[in-house]
Amino acid sequence: MAVITMREALNQAIREEMLRDPDVFLMGEEVAEYQGAYKVTKGLLEQLGPKRVIDTPITELGFAGLGVGAAMVGLRPIIEFMTFNFSILATDQIINSAAKMLYMSGGQFNIPIVFRGPGGSAFQVSSQHSQALESWFAYFPGLKVVMPSTPADAKGLLKTSIRDDDPVIFIEQERMYGNKGEVSEDPEFTIPLGLADIKREGADATIVARSLMVPLALKAAEELEKQGVSCEVIDPRTIRPLDIDTILESVKKTNRVVVAEESHPFCGVAAEISLEIMERAFDYLDAPVKRVSGVDVPMPYAKNLEELAIPGVDQLVAAVREVSYM
C-alpha cells in the first residue's frame, strides 16, 4: 500500500487497464500532449503512444459519439471530459445513443465506454464551471454512475468501470484530486459497482454522503462524537446501481438518517434515496429523513457566496442534531 493522491490513483487505474487490454483507448481534450488539464493522464501518451492516447478538438458531442460508435464494434473507450460541465454538449450521444443502444437493438449492441472527468463544485469558477450533474445521468436506465470519495475507491472503481460492458459515467470531484489515501498496488485490485462502503461505523444516526460530502460527513461525525452522538457514514460510491440495502441496514440500526449532497436539491439523488428509505424502512425511522443539499441557485463567483452555496460541516452537524431531536 502506498499513500497517493486521487489524481495519481486515477492515473494508475487508466494506465493499468490500458496495459491490460489493447482495446482500451483514451480520448479527450488535452489528455495527451498537455498531460491532462488536471494531470490525471500524465505520462500516458509517452508510455502508450498516440494511437491510444488521443487529443481531440474541442468537439464534445463529436468525440463522445465517436466513442460510442467505437464501442459498438468492441473497443473500450475512455472519454475524458475536461470537466463534466462540457458533457452537457454531449448528452445527446450519452443519453440517446450510449444509454439506449443495447435496449433498442434488442440486446445486440452493448456500449462498453467510460465517460470520466471532474465534476461538482470547483473553486471560484462561477456558474458554468461548477455544478453537480449526477442526478441527470443517474436518471437514465442504461447508464451507471460512479462517484468515488477516496483515492482507493477511485482506483478500484475506475478499473471496474473500464472493464464493465455498459456505459459508465465516472465523476471525479474537482476539489478532491489532491486528496491523499492508501491505495493498493495490486493490478487486480477492483471494487464492484453497486457496493456501498461504510466509511465510519456508528450507532445513533446515519449520514449518507457521496463524493465531496464524505470527508465533510466524517468531520461532522467526529464533532458529533464529542457531543455524544455516534454517527455511521455510508458512501454509496455508485449512484446507479445504488446499494440501497446497505443504507437500509444502517437506518434500521440507527433509526435516524441525514442524506447529504452538494448538488441542487430539486429532483436530486438525495430525494431518491430519501424516498427509498421512506418506502422500505419507514417503521424504523424515529425522525423524518433530513436532506442537506447545495442551495437551489447557480453557483456564484464571490468566495463568500460560493461557501454559502455548498453544505459545510456545521450544516451536517446541525442536521444530525435535528433528526436526533437535540
- Which among 119-127, 164-172, 259-267, 301-309 is the span making contact with other proteins, rule CB under 8 A? 164-172
Catalytic residue among 8, 17, 129, 232: 129
Options 34, 37, 42, 66; binder of other proteins; rule CB under 8 A? 66
SS3 label, residue 162:
helix
Binding track, positions 297-326, relative to other proteins; x by CB under 8 A: ------------------------------
Is-cis flag, bond preceding 241, omega within 30?
A: yes
3-state secondary structure 81-118: CCCHHHHHHHHHHHHHHHCCHHHHCCCCCCCCCEEEEE
Our answer to whether residue 60 is catalytic in this structure is: yes
Q: Which residues of 30-40 are buried (b: 16+ CB within 10 A; e: fewer)?
A: bbbeebbbbeb
Provide, for the chain, the percentages of residues in helix, strand and coil under a 3-state DSSP scheme, each rounded to the nearest 5.
40, 20, 40
Identity of the residue, 63 or 177, whose beta carbon is nearer to other proteins in the bound complex: 63
Our answer to whether residue 264 is catalytic in this structure is: no
How many other C-beta atoms lie within 10 A of the C-beta of residue 138? Answer: 21
Q: Which three cell numbers stand for residue 188?
A: 487486480
Distance in Å, CB of 171 to other proteins, minimum: 18
Catalytic residue among 8, 16, 17, 60: 60
Distance in Å, CB of 62 to other proteins, minimum: 3
Residue that is written with C-alpha cell 477492483 in the block:
190
- Which among 11-19, 50-58, 128-136, 178-186 is the span making contact with other proteins, rule CB under 8 A? 50-58
DSSP 127: G
Identity of the residue, 60 or 172, whose beta carbon is nearer to other proteins in the bound complex: 60
Q: Does 166 bind other proteins (CB under 8 A)?
A: yes
Cβ-based neighbours of 299, under 8 Å, separated by 6 or more: 121, 125, 126, 127, 130, 131, 306, 309
Distance in Å, CB of 250 to other proteins, minimum: 15
Q: Which three cell numbers stand for residue 39?
A: 494531470
Identity of the residue, 16 or 166, whose beta carbon is nearer to other proteins in the bound complex: 166
Q: Does 165 bind other proteins (CB under 8 A)?
A: yes
Q: Which residue blocks in 202-241 are alpha helix, DSSP H?
A: 213-226
Q: How many residues does the chain have?
A: 326
Binding track, positions 248-287, relative to other proteins; x by CB under 8 A: ----------------------------------------
Distance in Å, CB of 283 to other proteins, minimum: 18
d(CA 233, CA 200): 5
- Which among 121-129, 192-200, 282-290, 294-302 is the span making contact with other proteins, rule CB under 8 A? 192-200
Binding track, positions 74-113, relative to other proteins; x by CB under 8 A: xx-x--------------xx--xx---xxxxxxxxxx-x-
Distance in Å, CB of 177 to other proteins, minimum: 28
The amino acid at residue 102 is: L
Identity of the residue, 196 or 220, whose beta carbon is nearer to other proteins in the bound complex: 196
Closest CA to 139 of 118, 97, 169, 112: 169
Distance in Å, CB of 154 to other proteins, minimum: 20
Query: How far, in whole angstroms, is CA 148 from its chain's centroid?
Result: 5
- Residue 323's H or E segment, with its range, is helix 313-323
Catalytic residue numbers, as ranges: 60, 129
Residues that bind other proteins (CB under 8 A): 25, 51, 54, 56-57, 59, 61-75, 77, 92-93, 96-97, 101-110, 112, 141-142, 144, 164-166, 192-195, 240-245
